[in-house]
Structure 1
Amino acid sequence: MSLTVVLVEPAGPLNLGSVARLCANFGVEDLRLVAPRCDPGDLDAQRMAVHGDQVLKRARHFPTLFDALTDCQRVVASCGRIDHGEIPLQAPEQVMPWVQQGLESAAQVALVFGRENRGLSNEELLLSQRVVRLHSSEAYPSLNLSHAVAVMLHELERVRRQPTGQLNAVLQEVETAEPTQLINCLNDAEDLLLEAGFLLQHTARARMAKVKGLLQRALVRPEELAMLRGMVRQLRWAIRCHRP
């Protein structure tokens, strides 16, 4: 399987080391750090990693979450916040069969976790195809970073041990477009809509966030995304050719 755990701006060396240990516990070799706020070489991180020290040493660094996901076909984000806008949230038992199916088909799959103090922004959540809300108290829903990673990896391992027939019975879905490809298409569309006057600079970000949410919920297929991108490019060409 090809699974990666992505941590966005991890700040605590104890948490970072604990996540590296969890990766070793569950056979995850690829740990990616987005703009980390602590040093993976910190002694506290190394002590907490125990036999995950090699995972910690091999962890790759990326400047943005988008950069960390460019090779990923399936992306799942964890969300513990209540102010997530209209982004649909699912339980881990709903999402992990889809993750396992991707791993069995040799897809690159990412599990994304946010900052210890404020999680992932809504814009970052929209880079994923599924957003998971763990079962926790409504009064205090946000779990410690390493605890959230443990729950997600344990649920995936539970699903992995199910008979193949049970897994296939849960899933009857078509393949969806990669998140980064969708964002690239929407960036092209935003430029076109700004040029056409449909969007204004001061409202473009908010309006395009609604479009991103709509398309993520629609589970756009790769061939449908290619058609949308072709439409955008053809419209841009037509506008420029007929401009006086």
Structure 2
Amino acid sequence: MISANLVVVLVETAGPLNLGSVARLCANYKPSKLRLVNPRCEPGDPLASLMAVRGGEWLKKVEFHSSLSAAVADCRRVVACSGRIEAQERQHHSPKEAIGWLLEPQAGPAQVGLVFGREDHGLSKEELLLAGRLLRIPTGPGYGSLNLSHAVAICFAEIQQQLEQPKAAYAPLQALDSPLASHEQLEQTIQDAEALLLNVGFLYPHTARARMGKLRQILLRAEPNAEEVALLRGMVRQLRWAIGRDSG
């Protein structure tokens, strides 16, 4: 069993063979949950069941979500597997580095997410912004795209290997005193901040997405706890109220 708190998320999976293979891997390694975001194939497809072998139960208990944001809302840390290197706007971490960060101790029951994108074109830039770390699996220079289930297998094996090592080998940080904020709490704060910044003219509609994406990355790197995020959100709401009162 790799982790009772690990949530595996597949975004718009199209191939039932891939989905069945991932279900088989879940039976091998036993994460906490398997979530599907707008799948383009059905878990009940006979080909998925064929590949799942003894992982058929995982196909029956998958959770469905309409967006990646909703699928990781209750996760405190998120790693996204990405083969995108064209922009190089963010650092791509090795499986060892990204998984090591995912497994660092956190206060309380810390649910974490491991995200995999579409077979044909991976995750969008907006979806990648939801992850605190991007994981890139090293490949040969001739063809850098891996099969979805192969990528899941490599990540699961890395998690298992790190969990079998002494904790000091992969978790150098002390456990936090209070729980990290969930993605849902962060997103609510960011939405409130965006409305405020648009109102005061700091943001413009045509540039808001890019600039708020950078703010999101600052917050993800800082990893504020739930109390700190509540403080930030309270400040933003109070400013919005004060601006509305003065302009009324």
Whether 1:133 and 2:117 are equivalent positions in the alignment is no
Alpha-carbon separation, structure 2, partners of 1:161 and 1:102: 15
Aligned residue runs from structure 1 range 19-34, under 5 A: 19-34=22-37
Whether 1:119 and 2:119 are equivalent positions in the alignment is no
CA 1:105 to 1:24, structure 2 compared with 1: closer, same or farther past 3 Å? farther
2:10 equivalent in structure 1: 7
Q: CA RMSD in A?
A: 2.1
Q: Amino acid of the residue matched to residue 15 of structure 2?
A: G
Cα deviation for residue 139 of structure 1 reads: 4.5
From 37, 40, 58, the equivalent of 2:40 is 37
Alpha-carbon separation, structure 1, partners of 2:103 and 2:113: 11
Length-normalised TM-score, structure 2: 0.89
From 109, 125, 128, the equivalent of 1:106 is 109
Whether 1:208 and 2:217 are equivalent positions in the alignment is no
2:57 equivalent in structure 1: 54
Total equivalences in the alignment = 243
Q: Amino acid of the residue matched to residue 149 of structure 1?
A: V
Alpha-carbon separation, structure 2, partners of 1:137 and 1:172: 37
Instruction: Check conservation: 2:78, 2:131, Cα contact below 8 A.
Output: yes
Cα deviation for residue 102 of structure 1 reads: 4.6
Cα deviation for residue 138 of structure 1 reads: 4.5
Q: Which runs of 5+ in 2 are unaligned?
A: none
Cα deviation for residue 227 of structure 1 reads: 2.7
Length-normalised TM-score, structure 1: 0.90
Aligned residue runs from structure 1 range 152-191, under 5 A: 152-168=155-171, 170-171=172-173, 176-191=180-195
CA 1:185 to 1:151, structure 2 compared with 1: closer, same or farther past 3 Å? same
Instruction: Check conservation: 1:129, 1:179, Cα contact below 8 A.
Output: no
2:231 equivalent in structure 1: 227
Cα deviation for residue 172 of structure 1 reads: 5.1
Cα deviation for residue 215 of structure 1 reads: 2.8
Whether 1:69 and 2:78 are equivalent positions in the alignment is no
- Identity across aligned pairs (percent)? 51
CA 1:103 to 1:143, structure 2 compared with 1: closer, same or farther past 3 Å? farther
SS at match of 2:103: helix
Alpha-carbon separation, structure 1, partners of 2:107 and 2:151: 23
Q: Deviations over 1:48-95 (max 9, x none)?
A: 010110001111111111111122222111111113552232111112
2:148 equivalent in structure 1: 145
Greater Cα shift, 210-219 or 232-241 = 210-219
Cα deviation for residue 118 of structure 1 reads: 1.0
SS at match of 1:80: coil
